[in-house]
Amino acid sequence: MTLSSEAYRALEDVVGPENISEEPAILDGYCFIWANEVHFGDKFSARPPAVVLPGNTKEVQGIVKVCNRFNIKYRAHASGWEVPAISAKEPFLPVDLRRMNRILEIDRKNKFAVVEPYVSVQFLLTETIKQGLRPASVGCGPSASIIASSTSHFGCGTSNVSTDYGGRTPLGIEWVLPDGNILRVGSLGTDSGWFSGDGPGPSLRGIMRGLSGPNGGLGIITRTAVKLTPWYGPASIKARGKPNLYDYDVPENLRVYQLIFQSREHMTDSLMSIVEEGIAHGLQRCGVAVSVMLVTESNDEFWDTVKDSPPEMAEMYKFAASFMVDAASPGELKYREQLVEKLLDKYEVMSFPMDDKMMGALFYNLVTGQGTQRIFRVSGSFLSAVGAQEAWDTMGHISRRCAEEIWAKYEAAGKIGLAGESPWGTALGDWGSHVESVCVYDQLDPESVQATRDVIAEVDELLPKWSLGMGSFEGCLSPAEAAQKKAAPYCLDFMSYEKKVKKLFDPNLVSESTWYVTPDK
Amino acid sequence: MALKDFEKDMMRDSRCSYCKVIPHVMMTDTRFIDVCPSVARFNFHGFSAGGRMVAGLSLLRNRIEYTDGFLDMIFQCQMDGACDVSCKIDRDLEPLQVMQELRIKCIEDGQLIAGHMPVLEGLRKEDNMLQRKKADRGKWADGLDIKELAGGKAEVLFHAGCRYSFDEELWPTVKTGINILKEAGVDAAIMGKDEACCGGRAYEMGYEAELIKYADHNIQAWKTAGVKTIVTPCSCCYQTFKVLYDKIGKKPEIEIYHFTEYLDKLIKEGTLKLKKKVPIKVTYHDPCHLGRLSEPWIHWSGKEIKVAGQMIVHDPAKKYRRGAEGVYDIPRDILKAIPGLNLVEMYRIREYAWCCGSGGGVKEAYPEFALWTAAERLKEAKDVGADALVSACGWCKRNFTDAVKETGKKIEVYDIVDLVQEAL
C-alpha cells in the first residue's frame, strides 16, 4: 500500500509537515515489535506507507476522514508496546497518539481522571497518588496506556483485585468512530460530564470493547474518564539506591506477603477466602522464581542464585502468590493484618520470609506491574500461551490441564519454556480471576519460534473444546481471527455479531482489523 | 565490536519505549519524565533508542538505504546514554552501544553529516573541535604563573580540553581551576599549545579512528612528560580518558580526575577552605559525561549459553554498565560545603538526568535542537525555584548560556568552579 501524493498532502494538511513521515527508517519503527516472528514469520511485519502524529481529537478526526476518503486503512496506538498495536499482515497507516499525552482532569471527589491516549499507568499514578487515588494497574507494566488498556485491549494487572480490570474502569468516552464521526459515550453524550459510562447518554461500552477489546479495529478513542481507587500510601513512591535494583520503601499503611500453598485446591480455597474479605490491594499469582527475578540484576545473577536449588523446591513453590493489603488508618491496618494472619493460620498457608529488598520489589510490582518487563529478559521474548478469565476454581483447572496435556510435551522437547503449572495470574474485582501461562522462546531459533506457534495453535484448538474459554489470550492476541474461529462453534457464533458491529460502525472497512474481526465479503 | 555484533540485542528489542522516559519509579512530576531529548523533540519512534535499534537491524538487512532523513534520525541525538539506563532497568540490552556502532558504520560507509565536516577538518588540521588555531590553544593561560610543558616533566597535568581552551567566556573557570591547584600546593602543569583533543566527541560523531589516534597521541605525550595524574575540568575529556580509552583497549596507566574530584579531595583534606558565604539558590545539572557515561568500562569476553530451557546466561557471567557508578555525590558535596548556598534538586537527576543538549555532535550539526534541549532543562531548573543552574562541564555551560540568551530565561549559569572561587 502506498499513499498517493494527494492523500499524503491531505494528511499533512491535518497534522502539519512535522507530524507525518514516509521515511523508510522511521516507518520500520512502526512494523517491528516483539512476537512478530511468531505471527508473521519475521521481526518486521508489513511496512506502513506513512505514519502520522495527531495532537488532538480534531486532528484524529481529520485523519480518519482522509482515510475514509482515500480508502486508507489506519490503526491507532499509544505506547505501541503490545503486539496488536502496530503489527499486521498488510500495510496500514499507524496513527501514533504520542502527542496526546495530557491528564485533563482529576476529579478527587468523584474519583475519576480524564486522560488522553498517551497517558500511561505510571504517568497517571504519579499525579493521582498526590490526591490519594490510583488507577488500575496493567499486567504489561507502568508504561501501558490507560486508554489502550481500558478501552481497546484486555488490560488486567496486579492491583485489579481492588480496582477491577481495565475494561471495567472507563466512564465517559470520546470516540472517533471508524467513519470519522465522533461519538461521546455515557454521560458525556448528553453534556453531563464524564462521571458515567452508561448514561444519561448512549451506553455502548460493550460494543466499544467487549471482553478483549477491538485492538484498534473500531476507530480511535481520544479521551476517556477512568475510575480511580483510594491510595493509602504517600504522595510519591520513594525509591533509593542504584539501578537496576532500586530499593523501595513499603509505605506504612501497606503490607506485603509472599504466600506458598500446598496444592492447587489449597491455593484456590485460601485465595478465595482472602479475596472474600475485601482487604487486598494487589494480588499476583506466580512462582517464587518471579520474585527472585525482581531482586537479581541479570539472568546471570538469577541463575547463580537458583541453579543449585533442589528440584523439589520448585515443586514446593509451584503454587504461590504475592499479596498486599492496604488500610486507611493504623487501626484498620492492624485489623487487616490480624485478619490475614488468622486466614493464613486457618488455611495453613506459608508466608515466605522476605528481606526488605524483595518486599519492596514486590510492593512496587503489585502497585504497577513493573516486573513483567523482566520476563523479556529470560530468553529475549515471550508470548502468553494461554490467557483466560475464569472463576477461581477454573483458573487452577486451566493451568493443570494445559500443563499436563499441552505444556509437558513441549517442555520435554526443549524448544520453549512454559513454567509448568506456575502461570502468572491475578484476581479481578468482580470475583473472577485471570491466568496467563507465559511461553518463553528464542526468537533467533526457528524451531523455538515454530514451537511457540504450535503450542498456541493447540491451545486455540483445545481450550474451547474443554469449555475453558478461548485461546490466544481470549482472542485478543490472535491475528486474522485464528482463535476466534476455533472458539466460535462453542460460543454461539459470537463472531457473527462482532462482524455486524464492525460493518455497521466501519462501512468503508478502513479501521484496520488484523486483531479484531473483518466482515465477510 | 561492530553493528552486526549487536544483532541479537536489536532483535530482542521489545519496543517497550522505556528508553523514552526516566525510570518509572523515579517519576514525581509528569511535566518532567522525558529522558530522551531526541524523541521528546521529534516524536517519531525512530528518534528513540528503541527506534534506532530497529533502524540498525533494518540497515543490516538492507531494508533501508541511506537518506538525509535517516541520517538526521541517527545523528539528532546527543548520545547522552539516558536511554541506556532506562532500558537496562529490566533488560540486558546495549542500546547506546548499538547507536554508537550505527554511527561508526554510517561514517565508514561515507555517510557524513554536513555540520560535522568542518569540525572534523578542523580537528585533523588543528587538533581541536572548535575550528581554531592550534597555536592559540594555551592562550587562556597567558599571564598566569604556571608551568607549561614544553618537553619538560610534570606529575600532575591540568588538561583544559578544547571547549575551555578556545571559548573565551569560559576562560575564567579554567584560570580559577589552575590557580586553585597552585594555591593548594599542587605542582600542576599545562600542555599549552601542545595539548590535543581527547577524541571523544569525534568518536560520538562516529569517527572511531580519531579516538584511536588521539588516545595513542595523548598517552604517549603523557608518558614522555612523566605525567602520573591528570586533572580536567571538562567532563567529556574526563569520560574519554577514563572510559573510552579503556573501551578501545588503551587504558592509560595514569590517575584520571575530574576537577570536581580533585576539589573535593582538597576540601575534605582541609587544604582548601570555603569560607565566604555565597547566598544563592542553585540546582545542579549532572553532566552526562561526568555522570552515567563516566561509569568505568566493563570488559567482557565470553559466550551466551542457555540454561533451564531457554534462559540466556553468559559464560563467564556478564556485568552491565547501568549508569549508577558515575560521579554524582562529589559535586553535590562541594556545593553543600559552600557556606550560604542553597542546593535544590531537579526532577531528573543523577543517572536519569536530562542532557544539556550539546553532546554527540548536536551542537555542531543541529544547533537549534541543542538549544531546545537546554531550554527544557532551564524550565526544570526554574520550576524548582533555582536562581542558578550549576554544572561541571564547559560544554554544558556553553549550551546553557546560549539557551539563556536565546530564551531570555532569568537564570544564572555557573560552572561549579566559579562558585568555589566565590567561596574562597
Kindly state whether residues B281 and B414 are assigned to the same domain: yes
Instruction: Measure the CA–CA gap between A378 and A462, rounded to whole angstroms.
Output: 27
Residue where the block lists cell 539506563: B85
- pLDDT > 70 in chain A, percent: 100
Q: What is the mean pLDDT of chain B?
A: 97
Residue B179 covered by a domain: yes
What pLDDT is attached to residue A201?
A: 84
Average pLDDT of the residues in B11-21: 96
What pLDDT is attached to residue A134?
A: 98
Instruction: Measure the CA–CA gap between A196 and A200, rounded to whole angstroms.
Output: 8
- B272, HSE (Cβ side, Cα atoms, 13 Å): 28
Residue where the block lists cell 502461570: A423
Kindly state whether residues B132 and B234 are assigned to the same domain: yes
For chain A, the first-to-last Cα distance in angstroms comes to 20
For chain B, the first-to-last Cα distance in angstroms comes to 47
Instruction: Measure the CA–CA gap between A509 and A494, rounded to whole angstroms.
Output: 20
In tens, the pLDDT along A13-24 reads 999 999 999 999
Q: In this complex, which of B50, B73, B90 lies closest to A26 when CB atoms are compared? A: B73
Q: What is the CATH number of the domain that holds B283?
A: 3.40.50.1860
Residues of chain B with C-beta less than 8 angstroms from the C-beta of A298: 92, 317-320
| Kind of pairing between the strands at B188-190 and B147-148 | parallel
Contact B84, B326 (CB under 8 A): no
Residue B60: other Cβ atoms inside 10 A: 17
With an 8 Å Cβ cutoff, are A370 and B24 in contact? yes
Kindly state whether residues B277 and B423 are assigned to the same domain: yes
With an 8 Å Cβ cutoff, are A381 and B14 in contact? yes
Residue B54 covered by a domain: yes
DSSP letter at A386 equals: E
Cell numbers of B244, please?
A: 573510552
Kindly state whether residues B20 and B105 are assigned to the same domain: yes
CATH of domain A99-230: 3.30.465.10
Instruction: Measure the CA–CA gap between B150 and A76, rounded to whole angstroms.
Output: 65
Residue where the block lists cell 478502513: A510
Q: What is the extent of the structural domain holding B395?
A: 273-291+326-424
CATH architecture of A5-97: 2-Layer Sandwich (3.30)
In tens, the pLDDT along A311-339 reads 888 888 889 999 999 999 999 999 999 99
The answer, for B23 touching chain A at a CB cutoff of 8 Å, is yes
Residue A346 CB partners (closer than 8 Å, separation 6+) = A273
With an 8 Å Cβ cutoff, are A377 and B91 in contact? yes
Nearest residue of chain A to residue B54 (CA atoms): A29
A252-373: CATH class: alpha beta
Average pLDDT of the residues in A103-121: 98
User: Is the pLDDT reported for residue B42 higher than 90?
Assistant: yes
Alpha-carbon gap: A458 to the closest alpha carbon of chain B (Å) = 20
Write down which residue in B55, B90, B111 finishes a domain: B111
Cell numbers of A275, please?
A: 479475596
Instruction: Measure the CA–CA gap between B165 and B162, rounded to whole angstroms.
Output: 5
Where in the sequence of chain A do the CATH 3.30.43.10 domains occur? 5-97
Q: Domain count of chain B? A: 3
Where in the sequence of chain A do the CATH 3.30.465.10 domains occur? 99-230
Contact A222, A176 (CB under 8 A): yes
Band of pLDDT at residue A202, cut at 50, 70 and 90: confident
Residue A474 to residues A2, A499, B301, Cα–Cα distance (Å): 33, 17, 44
Kindly state whether residues B47 and B135 are assigned to the same domain: no
Closest by Cα among A177, A136, A129, A178 to A160: A136
Kindly state whether residues B150 and B246 are assigned to the same domain: yes
What pLDDT is attached to residue B223?
A: 96
Residue where the block lists cell 506456575: A422
Residues of chain B with C-beta less than 8 angstroms from the C-beta of A380: 8, 11-12, 312
Kindly state whether residues B134 and B190 are assigned to the same domain: yes
Alpha-carbon gap: B39 to the closest alpha carbon of chain A (Å) = 10
Instruction: Measure the CA–CA gap between B165 and B237, rounded to whole angstroms.
Output: 12
With an 8 Å Cβ cutoff, are B8 and A300 in contact? no
CA-CA-CA-CA dihedral for B253, B258, B261, B265, to nearest 10: 70
Residues of chain B with C-beta less than 8 angstroms from the C-beta of A444: 8, 11
Band of pLDDT at residue A521, cut at 50, 70 and 90: low
Q: What is the CATH number of the domain that holds B180?
A: 1.20.1050
Instruction: Measure the CA–CA gap between B254 and B276, rounded to whole angstroms.
Output: 34
Average pLDDT of the residues in B256-268: 96
- pLDDT > 70 in chain B, percent: 100
- Amino acid sitting at position B150: A
Which residues face A487 on adjacent strands? none
Residue B35 covered by a domain: yes
With an 8 Å Cβ cutoff, are B318 and A248 in contact? no
Contact A128, A134 (CB under 8 A): yes
Q: In terms of residues, how long is chain B?
A: 424
Residue B302 covered by a domain: no
Average pLDDT of the residues in B302-331: 96
What pLDDT is attached to residue A41?
A: 95
* CATH 3.30.300 for the A380-477 domain, yes or no: yes
Cell numbers of A201, please?
A: 447518554
In tens, the pLDDT along B374-408 reads 999 999 999 999 999 999 999 999 999 999 999 99
In tens, the pLDDT along A121-161 reads 999 999 999 999 999 999 989 999 999 999 999 889 999 99
Q: What is the mean pLDDT of chain A?
A: 94
With an 8 Å Cβ cutoff, are B89 and A244 in contact? yes
Q: Work out how many CB contacts closer than 8 A connect A with B.
A: 198
Kindly state whether residues B137 and B211 are assigned to the same domain: yes
Average pLDDT of the residues in B226-255: 97
Partner A, chain B 343-382, Cβ-Cβ below 8 Å: 351
Residue B418 to residues A55, A61, B170, B260, Cα–Cα distance (Å): 43, 54, 10, 12
Contact A369, A142 (CB under 8 A): yes
Residue B397 covered by a domain: yes
Residue B140 covered by a domain: yes
What pLDDT is attached to residue A396?
A: 87
Average pLDDT of the residues in A180-202: 93
Kindly state whether residues B247 and B284 are assigned to the same domain: no
What is the full DSSP assignment across B116-165? GHHHHHHHHHHSSTTS--GGGGGGGGTT---EE-SS---SEEE--HHHHH
Residue B296 covered by a domain: no
Cell numbers of B165, please?
A: 581552551
Kindly state whether residues B210 and B279 are assigned to the same domain: no
Q: What would you report as the CA-atom Rg of chain B, rounded to the nearest whole angstrom? A: 21
User: Is the pLDDT reported for residue A520 higher than 80?
Assistant: no
Q: In this complex, which of B46, B89, B317 lies closest to A304 when CB atoms are compared? A: B317
Average pLDDT of the residues in B8-33: 96
Top mean-pLDDT range of A209-213, A497-501, B121-125: B121-125
Kindly state whether residues B259 and B281 are assigned to the same domain: no
In tens, the pLDDT along B85-95 reads 999 999 999 99
Q: In this complex, which of B21, B58, B310 lies closest to A379 when CB atoms are compared? A: B310
* Helix (H), strand (E) at residue B336: helix B329-337
Residue B138 covered by a domain: yes
The answer, for B305 touching chain A at a CB cutoff of 8 Å, is no
Kindly state whether residues B262 and B150 are assigned to the same domain: yes
Cell numbers of B172, please?
A: 575564567
Write down which residue in B111, B139, B170 finishes a domain: B111
Residue B194: other Cβ atoms inside 10 A: 16
What pLDDT is attached to residue A393?
A: 81
Average pLDDT of the residues in B173-190: 94
Residues of chain B with C-beta less than 8 angstroms from the C-beta of A248: 25
Write down which residue in B111, B137, B161 finishes a domain: B111
Contact A495, A103 (CB under 8 A): no
